[in-house]
Amino acid sequence: MRNTKALSGAAQDAYFRRVLKAQATLSEEAREQVVRSLKRDIAQLRLRREPLPDGAIPNPPVAETRLAAAVAPSAQPDAPPAGTNFDPFSPNIVVLLRTAGRAAVLAALAAIDSQEQLRLLAREQRLSVAPNLTSLDELRGAILSAAERRIANRMAAAS
């Protein structure tokens, strides 16, 4: 028996909705927006029949894997703040936006359900967000916009 099964069309949409529904902090509107983006970009996905156990998922994105191996021992990245597992440098929002698109960024940010952590991520990744934003969705949107501005800035300068 094959270890994976293919999903497309309505079954795929239902899968996206089911996964996103688990993100309690994501509003219905944001959820639908992500689903629309995913539908646009993904024609078919393959689902494992037996989900991998926790910790077995290969974590870093490709670019990070390639680079991490080469970082000198004396130049290891900052450790996350003490007392928490949250790493404000991961995911790299600009890289994720450029490689996987807006939906992927929103999905990644949806997994962060603390305003403090979102603000920390924005600050450490130099993504400017207004201090008066209070809702998590607004913060996520502002982070995404800031990343888009960063990319646009760079493209404009390289001409």
Q: Which stretches of the chain bind another protein, using CB under 8 A? A: 63-64, 66-72, 74-78, 88-89, 92, 94-95, 98-99, 124-126, 154-155, 157-159
91 cis-preceded (ω within 30 degrees of 0): yes
Structure tokens at 159: 């001409």
Q: What is the smallest separation between the CB atom of 111 and another protein, expressed in angstroms? A: 18
CB 67, min distance to another protein, A: 6
Alpha-helical segments (H) within 8-51: 9-21, 28-41
Q: Residue 46's closest CA among 4, 100, 104, 2? A: 4
Least distance (Å) from another protein to the CB of residue 89?
A: 4
| E strands, the chain, in order | 4-7, 45-48
For the CB of residue 43, give the shortest distance to another protein in the complex, in Å. 24
Cβ pair 109, 97 in contact under 8 A: no
Comparing CB distances to another protein, the nearer of 76 and 132 is 76
- Closer residue to another protein, CB minimum distance, 1 or 75: 75
Please, which residue, 32 or 124, has the CB nearer to another protein? 124
Asked if residues 79 and 62 have their Cβ atoms less than 8 Å apart, the reply is: no
